Chain A
Amino acid sequence: MKLFVYKTLVACFLIFVLFHLTIGYTLRSYENEIKNYFSKDKINFFKDKIRIEIKDGLEKERILSKEDSILMNKFFEKISKELKNSK
């Protein structure tokens, strides 16, 4: 009985250590990386950045260059034509 208890306790402890050195460590590293990557400050920073870019864009005379606008116009027309034809 005594030996069984001690062996069980030691086995549990070793499993715990092994788990945390392998799976636990990997899981926690990924979890931490993801959670820290999408932190509130970063999200707010990028939100503000987008807002500023849109504001700047609105203040400009043109957002796209003439060549880009012609190119995109042709592109969207082609897409819409293809979508219509698919019916």
Chain B
Amino acid sequence: MIKLFSKNIYIYVIIFLIFLIGIYTYKDYGVGIEEHFHRKSGFYWLNFLLNFTDFEFIKKTTEIKLEEIKNFTPRLFPIENFGFYGILFDVPLAFIEVFFEINESKNYFYLRHFSIFMLFLTSAFLFYKIILFRFNNVYLALFGFLIFVFTPRIYGNIFFDNKDIFYLSILTINMFFFVRYLNNKTSLNLIFFSIFCAFSTSSRIIGLLIPISFFLILFFEYLSFRKSNFFFKRIFIFLLSYLITLIIHWPYLWTLNIHTLLNFFDPFFYAMNPVVYFNGDFFQSKFLPYSYLPIWIFISTPVFLFFLFLFGFYSCFRRIFFRLISIKEDAKIISNDLWKSKNENFDVYISILFLLTIIIYFSINPALLSGWRHFYFLNFFMVFFACYFINVVYLKSKKKPFLKIFLFILFFFSSFTIYDLYKYHPFQSVYFNKLVSDIKKNQFEIDTQSLSRVHAIKELLKEDGELIIGTASWTPLEDARSMISKKHWERLNFVGTEFEKANFIYSNYYYEVNTNYNKKYEIPQNFSLYKTLIIDGTRIYSIYKKNI
């Protein structure tokens, strides 16, 4: 009985509750803007892999599916030109779809949504384990777990985003294996860690920073202890298993020739360079201001989490800085090194990884769009540093009234965030925090994932007769049919920007052009507002109807 109510059981209860919420709500979300592309990518690479086998039936079905995708979404980019995306999520899902003969479009997208949700939940559990290892405090680990899952923009994406959330999940699992390696430096743990490093690299090229940071840690260790054998053995085992895994699971690498190998990184930095609406101004996505990422993170993260992260980041770096300035040349004195314990070793590793990410952001000037979703993996670092700060406060103010006040404030703000999640449902992915005024919210791109298109079509289907719908935004509205019952397809006629043919126009105010100068998405004067969805002052989409 005592065991049953042990505090270690809380996490399982919470996970079960989140699982129930997920099961109950995952069908509320629309289809993400990149899902069709990734589904196609899955079938493309499945077909590629099946060419090495004799599974004729699966091969034939895969080819039929590819043909169907080509006909249904002819505007999708050819995978041959964008083959560098990892296949870890897409190919298994394509295989399941073929193997279990899932042919209803709604169902295979639901399957994708449920799968990414489950993967994220697994990674969140491992995040709990990481925090528990690092701070040895169950309640802090539970709190960390909850804010890791319930950061609104992250939570809003865990039901459909098979790219950014997938990378966040893989990175978290990767970090868990690093913790395991730190705990027990066996070759087996090193191999597990390197395998997940390879998975991270194929999921996102920025994942390359994980092994680079690891090499730095190994190098620092070598500087202190001068164990050449240990150092080179670790490097050798890591590199061998990393490269083997990378080559085996990433068929894109098999297609490279000398020329493409020499320019290996070029495709990853290819950008369409659409116009990005940011802070009331239009920018080309290749030429965004430095402030793009910091401002996005600041306005779309709960205020308390943002400040906890900043203070935690400061506290952690302060500690590392003091370690750094007290390093002595003498290799024997362990207390004068960059870290004193496994916990500090982990802090140094996380800090190096985080710093390298920031350095990359500022130095290569990546083309960004859709808010900061390409950097959603930073949620791992934000929540980690937030927990770090809470731990600092806890250690410094044990048994003092200040601690109670601090915990009350945390509880208060967390409750607000949970309420926001409820209020925004199912559009948590467009969340802005309380510091952003309603006017300011409209100076940023909102529904960049085009989730609202399914919602809008369902609204329009309440009307009678044929629906001729125009699109006044950079959203492939017709792809929303994937989540609409086939019996309604006949009534839906999509005419893009040929507004003169339309009787309804949909817009989620997401553009790839500067609308001050390019008027292709301007709503004609013979249309008037029919419906608009506004949540917490955030305008998500509107439908305009032709005046009779």
A interface with B by C-beta (< 8 Å) = 1-3, 5-6, 10, 13, 16, 20, 24-25, 28-29, 31-32, 35-36, 39, 41-42, 44-45
Contacts and interface: CB of A to CB of B under 8 A. Distances in A.
A16 B359 CA distance: 8
Contacts of A2: 223-224, 327, 329, 331
Contacts of A25: 290
Interface stretch (B6-14, B376-384, B511-519): B511-519
Interface stretch (B39-47, B158-166, B278-286): B278-286
Given A31-B287, A32-B288, A45 B362 contact: no
B284 A44 contact: no
A24 B362 contact: yes
A71 B324 CA distance: 79
Interface residues of B, number: 26
Contacts, number: 57
Interface in B277-309: 282-284, 286-290
Which secondary structure dominates where chain B touches chain A? loop
Given A5-B223, A41-B513, A42-B514, A32 B362 contact: no
A9 B442 CA distance: 43
A13 B338 CA distance: 16
Contacts of A42: 514, 517
Contacts of B284: 35-36, 39
Interface of B: 223-224, 275, 282-284, 286-290, 324, 327, 329, 331, 338, 355, 359, 362-363, 365, 513-514, 516-518
Contact of A41 (B289, B359, B517): B517
A2 B513 CA distance: 53
A41 B516 CA distance: 9
A23 to B, nearest CB: 12
A35 to B, nearest CB: 4
A35 B286 CA distance: 9
A36 B290 contact: no
Contacts of A45: 517-518
A33 B96 CA distance: 49
B329 A3 contact: yes
Contact of A44 (B223, B290, B329, B518): B518
A35 B289 CA distance: 12
15 contacts: A1-B329, A13-B355, A16-B363, A20-B362, A24-B362, A28-B289, A29-B289, A31-B287, A36-B284, A39-B282, A39-B517, A42-B514, A42-B517, A44-B518, A45-B517
